[in-house]
């Protein structure tokens, strides 16, 4: 449970902050509304948990929004969800590690001015761990998740007990009052107040962000997968909702303040702005207040919160290959991403995501609130499409069933999903309306670009597939070329060449010929003489090269064969050195690789690489095989 | 002539400036010495011309310092010359285009503040032209060389006539006086004065820099090559020396000033420093003074000077493949550089050189004087080793001949080369002593690094050659593998697969088998069913892939064959798409390329690429072939 849950649970580390921040826009009085908003968000969490349990029941293989939207609303909707999810991956990294940096600043105040740097460092660490693909990381990250749960629950319980005992702890910011940005400290009324509340509600809704991670992680659960996933979902939802409600209740009782601009929006007892005011994140403030006698305990709460945020970021990186392989199967991203097991394949994807996260963290100077608005767009767009897909799904099934309890159950399910759709749609609308010009457009633009790119990739694959399609009565595999010409490219008489000659002869071609380009005429003559002395069993043709070129004479030679016998197969055998260190590739094989790429342009030509493993390869074989990551230990034995 | 000469002739555009600048360190009075120093440098030019004519006679194939030093002093000296020449290539670019930027600033004063940018732009232009390898460039660049010669000679003649007529033109800076940096404007005496004169002489010696370009360009001359090269050398030398002497004489008569720091070192008639003083390069000042009535003529002189500097930079880029291929033949640089005709091979080398030149231009903020000191180190180190080699060459030959006119001629030749050695050794010493800490160490350090790198490369090649050496009675080419196993990697049943099956069968292997990895089990079942329906003539083996991997199952399959029959040859046929646009490579072949690289690790395995040209390739075939640059037009016909 803890691995996939960390994404969702960790959002409790910033959702209360966002609620307080949104409310503080209308001054201090509104802050008392925070428990109610916490309650509302908790209710949303539970509604969405019910929704995703329905998804899981309908799609036991993994009830992610991508799956649901693709199947019920078509590939365009699926593609839109995919675009949103890719943006979400980037933002999970950016948001989790930005908030991580805040908690690090709380634990070690000296690091407060370096939030951007700490966040970037966090992204780098998570990326490197993700690239190494160390599977043990899951077990390690499970520990802070449990500790975080325990720490937050203990904090809430102790807080409630102290409040109940009349021993109300005071938060560091409780003595300060909030200055509303427009200078009007009084409570707002009517539409303005409603809008502030709506904003606080939608910002707080970020607490549901990780819910999809659990729903899509089904293949990773122990059997029975569907039931385990559904139970994990319910448990995580209940815990998240409980923690959120508890924390927001405490913020109100303890007088915790959290504003966008602490340097200007917090006023001291006299009403004047407090210069150099600084605020810790809400969990930090609550822990410090609740454990006012034991700062070590408060520090532990902050540290495990930071760790669980790292875990959430790791979940995003770990989850990417799964999403990418699903997208690859549908032809939205390069096909090589479909082979989920070959970890190296995903390196470039993960690097791209991390780079985007770093750009966002720098661009927004690690301002969590702004990043969260971007995040909400992606998260709630995919939620909305997923829920719409579910509504459509039930409607279709209901149409097929005339009556009975099954029909009633489905109608109930549809109602739940419709409720979910309404809620997430409302949040999406509020975020888009209130924040579009403030940065949400970046998320929208990124999605539009990704959506278009994925469409182009899919179209390209579809075109190529159509081009390559073989009719059932295609006889290519039975129509063999008339003759085979084996051509061995020789640059010197050494062991790799002799091996290439043996291999070329082993395939018993109709004709076999060795060719050598006289880049250096003297050397070519020497080679010819030695060839004759050794009486090598293959005739050698020396190709002239007036301009000291290598590729052109070979191409002309092959073209002559092609013209003489256009229906024959030409197999060009090229010795290739296999080296043990990357830089040796600069010194070897370059000309040969270029020759190969040109030969592949010519029809009826096959290029056969005859490898020669240099001693440097043999010395580094173990390391190379280990690094390649896709060769088993016992295969290594056959390499000697 | 003009092409190779532009390098040498163009140095007249900055040598007088360096003489004046060095002299101005001891105040205005010393400037009158400039014609004498011009005369001395002119004498050096002529001595070195005689030296290199001797080189050409001794080595008619091209009397470059690298050749001479390698043959007479051993590979270490040759390697040292090679390091120096590589550094020179970079500095020819940096110096020529920095001075180019000064002349551009003279022609268009608005561009004066952008000297660094103009120089970098010039480097980029020369690099791009060099990379495109457009041969017509030589004819185009011949024109400014002739124009430059004509312009400078006319300027000098008109200047002399005007001086002779008593109508002495006044240079823009003639009214200013030079403030010596140590504040003491009087003439220096004794050792200090001698040192200043020596410095001026050595700085001015930069005028001989291009001499080697002519000597090494022998293979490009019309026959009789040796004689033509020798004559070109003599003519260029005489012209350079004449222009230099004429220009320095005019600087003294016209009162031209050129100082390192015009803003602080130039004083007005009252003796006070002139703020915002600005100075044009010497040829610009002389032309403006001589053609005082016709500024258009002066502008023409400046423009053709700028153009000839561009030509000199182009010569460096054009000359690089020749040097690189000589170094590659001796194993000092990656071997692929030996095929001089394949222009693309040199792209990386040229890019590296240009990047280094850009770094130097930025690092020295386009200060020509500093760059020239670096340049002198490389130029005169290779001169010195070349001359030392020639002295050794003659000494060896003299030893073999007891007496007679031949012996006397050789002793005379040795005396000339020894004189050359003495002169270049002196310049090298002065530059190293006076400027080592001021930047010359950068050139020395770069040479040491290059020297070491080339040593490592040579050692690596020697080691690999020893490893690969086949004994004359090696029977590998006759010992054929027992059986051949053809394995066709299948990802789908489409035309490329069918072609690969046909080709694999055409080689009549002992065993032939198609394999398919069940990354997606459903898809694998569908494929198996279709395979049976089409009754393809090769058995299909579906390899399980529990972790959705592709490479590992194939490697395990090959390892099983290897274990069963370790002496057999396995040929793995892999269909590969040939695309027409670079980005299509991101969408195709990635997994296959990875598989290939892993298969090459296994002994007795040959990887055969069966190309399938996509329509996008066919559409872009002409463009791709043209861009590849090493496929003839008529070969293109066989590609259809």
CA angle (B215, B221, B224) in 5-degree steps: 100
Determine, yes or no, domain membership for A298.
no
Residue A148, pLDDT score = 93
Of the residues A460, A491, A523, the one at which a domain ends: A460
pLDDT at A65: 87
- Interface check B509 vs A, CB under 8 A: yes
Domain contains B367: yes
Residues linked to residue A610 through DSSP beta bridges, in sequence order = A575
* Whether B49 and B129 share a structural domain: yes
Taking the Cβ of residue B573 and every Cβ of chain A, the question of whether any pair is shorter than 8 Å is answered with yes
Q: Which of A454, A468, A473, A579 to mutate against chain B (most B CBs within 10 Å)? A: A468
> End of a domain among A460, A489, A507?
A460
Inter-CA distances, A463 with A171, B495, B616, B620, Å: 63, 14, 10, 17
pLDDT the model gives residue B570: 96
Residues B556 and B434 in one domain: no
Residues of chain B whose pLDDT is less than 70?
1-3, 27-30, 62-63, 133-135, 180-189, 219, 270-271, 273-277, 341-345
Flag if A477 and B506 touch (Cβ within 8 Å). Answer: no
Q: Are residues B490 and B448 in the same domain?
A: no
Alpha helices in A547-631 (DSSP H): 551-564, 584-587, 590-599, 615-619, 621-628
B145 and B269 assigned to the same domain: yes
What is the β-pairing status of strands A484-490 and A511-518? parallel
| A504 and A380 within one domain | no
Same domain (yes/no): B280, B336: yes
* CA atoms of A145 and A148, how far apart (whole Å): 5
Q: Is residue A294 part of a domain?
A: no
Quickly count: other Cβ atoms within 10 Å of residue B281's Cβ.
Answer: 22
Tokens found for residue B150: 């004509």
Edge-to-edge strand ranges of the sheet holding A511-518:
A540-544, A511-518, A484-490, A569-578, A605-613, B605-613, B569-578, B484-489, B511-518, B540-544
Residues B343, B243 share a domain: yes
Q: Which residues contact B347 (CB under 8 A, 6 or more apart)?
A: B131
- Residue A545 in any domain: the answer is yes
Measured CA distances, A452 to A6, A76, A437, A459, B335 (Å) = 32, 10, 22, 11, 45
Is A126 found in the same domain as A91? yes
Cβ–Cβ gap A342/B576 under 8 Å: no
Quick one: pLDDT at residue A180? 66
Q: Is the same domain home to A515 and A619?
A: yes
B439: left (phi over 0), alpha (psi -120 to 50) or beta: left
Rounded Cα gap, residues B582 and A53, in angstroms: 45
The pair of structure tokens assigned to B187 is 């003439």
* Residue B1 pLDDT: 58
H and E: helices and strands count for chain B = 25, 7
What is the distance between the alpha carbons of residues A510 and A487, in angstroms, rounded to a whole number?
Answer: 11
Amino acid A271: pLDDT = 67
Q: Which residues, in sequence order, are bridge partners of residue A119?
A: none
Q: Which of A461, A576, A601 to mutate to test the interface with B (most CBs of B within 10 A)?
A: A601
What CATH number did the domain enclosing B413 receive? 1.20.1740.10
Cα A529–Cα A531–Cα A536 angle in degrees, nearest 5: 150
For an interface test with B, the pick among A474, A477, A512 (most B C-beta atoms closer than 10 Å) comes out as A477
CA distance B7 to chain A (A): 25
Model-level pTM?
0.83
Q: Which pLDDT value is given to residue B188?
A: 57
The answer to whether B534 contacts chain A (CB < 8 Å) is yes
Is the distance from CB of B357 to CB of B390 less than 8 angstroms?
Answer: no
Q: Could you tell me whether strands A605-613 and B605-613 are parallel, antiparallel, or unpaired per DSSP bridges?
A: antiparallel
Last residue of a domain, one of B433, B461, B489: B461
Both A450 and A500 in a single domain? no
Q: What is the pLDDT of residue B58?
A: 85
Q: To the nearest whole angstrom, how far is the Cα of A507 from the nearest Cα of chain B?
A: 6
In a domain, A626, yes or no: yes
User: Using CA atoms, how far apart are residues A444 and A438, in angstroms rounded to an integer?
Assistant: 12
Maximum Cα–Cα distance across chain B: 105
User: What's the distance, CA A416 to chain centroid?
Assistant: 30
The answer to whether A553 contacts chain B (CB < 8 Å) is no
Domain membership flag for residue A226: yes
Chain A contact set for B601 (CB, 8 A):
578, 611, 613, 617, 621, 624-625, 631, 639
Of B336, B571, B639, the CB nearest to A591: B336
Average pLDDT per block of 10 residues along chain A, 640 residues long: 76 90 76 87 92 85 82 92 92 94 92 92 90 73 88 94 87 76 57 83 87 74 77 90 93 85 74 68 91 89 93 85 86 85 75 92 90 90 92 90 84 92 92 83 93 95 93 88 94 93 93 92 92 94 88 93 92 93 86 89 94 90 80 80
The CA distance from A500 to A296, in Å, is 71
pLDDT confidence of residue B435: 80
Report angle CA A295, A299, A305 to the nearest 5 degrees. 150
For chain A, what is the domain count? 2
Q: Are residues B521 and B603 in the same domain?
A: yes
Q: What is the ipTM score, two decimals?
A: 0.83
**Are the Cβ atoms of A506 and B495 closer than 8 angstroms?**
no
Please check whether residues B132 and B210 belong to one and the same domain.
Answer: yes
Identify the CA nearest to A165 among candidates A253, A242, A244: A253
- Residue A508 in any domain: the answer is yes
Domain that holds residue B500: 481-637
Residues from chain B that touch A495, judged by Cβ atoms under 8 A, are 468-470, 474, 476
- Judged by CB atoms closer than 8 Å, whether chains meet at A639 and B601 is answered as yes
CATH number, domain of B561, equals 3.40.50
**DSSP code of residue B440:** I
- Structure confidence at residue B306 (pLDDT): 94
Tell me, what's the pLDDT at A257? 84
- Element at A634 (helix H, strand E): helix A633-637
Classify residue A473: in a domain, yes or no: no
DSSP A512: E
């Amino acid at each position: 449970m803890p691995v996939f849950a960390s994404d969702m649970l960790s959002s409790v580390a910033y959702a209360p902050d966002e609620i307080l921040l949104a409310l503080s826009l209308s001054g201090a009085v509104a802050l008392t509304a925070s428990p109610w908003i916490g309650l509302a968000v908790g209710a949303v969490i539970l509604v969405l948990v019910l929704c995703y349990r329905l998804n899981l029941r309908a799609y036991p293989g993994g009830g992610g929004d991508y799956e649901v939207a693709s199947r019920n609303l078509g590939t365009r909707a699926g593609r839109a969800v995919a675009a949103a999810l890719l943006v979400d991956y980037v933002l999970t990294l950016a948001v989790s590690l930005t908030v991580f940096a805040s908690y690090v600043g709380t634990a070690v105040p000296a690091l407060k001015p370096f939030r951007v740097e700490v966040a970037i460092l966090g992204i780098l660490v998570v990326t490197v761990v993700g690239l190494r693909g160390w599977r043990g990381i899951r077990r390690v990250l499970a520990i802070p998740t449990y500790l975080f749960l325990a720490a937050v629950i203990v904090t809430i319980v102790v807080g409630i007990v102290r409040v109940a005992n009349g021993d109300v702890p005071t938060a560091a910011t409780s003595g300060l009052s909030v200055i509303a940005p427009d200078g009007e400290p009084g409570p707002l009324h009517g539409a303005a107040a409603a809008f502030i509340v709506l904003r606080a509600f939608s910002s707080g809704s970020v607490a549901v962000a990780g819910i999809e991670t659990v729903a899509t992680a089904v293949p990773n659960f122990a059997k029975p997968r569907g039931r385990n996933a559904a139970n994990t979902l319910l448990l995580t939802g209940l815990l998240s909702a409980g923690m959120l409600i508890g924390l927001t209740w405490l913020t109100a009782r303890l007088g915790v303040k959290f504003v966008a601009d602490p340097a200007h929006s917090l006023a001291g007892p006299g009403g004047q702005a407090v210069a150099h005011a600084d605020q810790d994140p809400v969990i930090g403030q609550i822990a410090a207040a609740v454990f006012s006698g034991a700062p070590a305990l408060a520090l532990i709460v902050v540290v495990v919160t930071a760790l669980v945020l790292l875990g959430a970021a790791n979940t995003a990186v770990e989850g990417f290959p799964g999403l990418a392989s699903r997208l690859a199967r549908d032809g939205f991203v390069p096909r090589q991403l479909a082979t989920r097991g070959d970890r190296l394949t995903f390196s470039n994807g993960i690097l791209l995501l991390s780079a985007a996260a770093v750009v966002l963290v720098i661009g927004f100077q690690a301002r969590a609130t702004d990043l969260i608005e971007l995040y909400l767009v992606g998260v709630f767009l995919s939620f909305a499409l997923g829920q719409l897909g579910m509504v459509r799904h039930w409607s279709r099934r209901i149409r097929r069933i005339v009556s009975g309890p099954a029909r009633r159950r489905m109608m109930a399910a549809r109602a739940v999903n419709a409720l979910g759709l309404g809620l997430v749609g409302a949040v999406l609308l509020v975020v888009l309306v209130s924040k579009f010009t403030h940065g949400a457009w970046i998320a929208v633009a990124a999605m539009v670009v990704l959506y278009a790119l994925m469409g182009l990739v899919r179209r390209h694959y579809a075109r190529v597939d159509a081009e390559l399609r073989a009719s059932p009565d295609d006889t290519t595999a039975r129509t063999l070329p008339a003759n085979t010409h084996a051509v061995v490219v020789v640059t010197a008489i050494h062991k790799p060449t002799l091996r290439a000659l043996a291999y070329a002869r082993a395939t018993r071609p109709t004709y076999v010929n060795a060719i050598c380009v006289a880049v250096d005429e003297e050397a070519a003559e020497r080679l010819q003489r030695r060839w004759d002395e050794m009486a090598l069993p293959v005739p050698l043709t020396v190709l002239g090269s007036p301009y000291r070129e290598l590729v052109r004479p070979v191409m002309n030679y092959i073209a002559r064969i092609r013209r003489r016998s256009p229906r024959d197969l030409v197999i060009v055998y090229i010795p290739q050195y296999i080296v043990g260190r990357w830089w040796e590739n600069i010194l070897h094989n370059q000309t040969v690789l270029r020759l190969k790429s040109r030969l592949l342009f010519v029809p009826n030509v096959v290029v056969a690489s005859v490898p020669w493993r240099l001693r440097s390869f043999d010395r580094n074989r173990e390391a190379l095989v280990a690094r390649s990551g896709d060769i088993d230990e016992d295969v290594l034995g056959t390499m000697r």
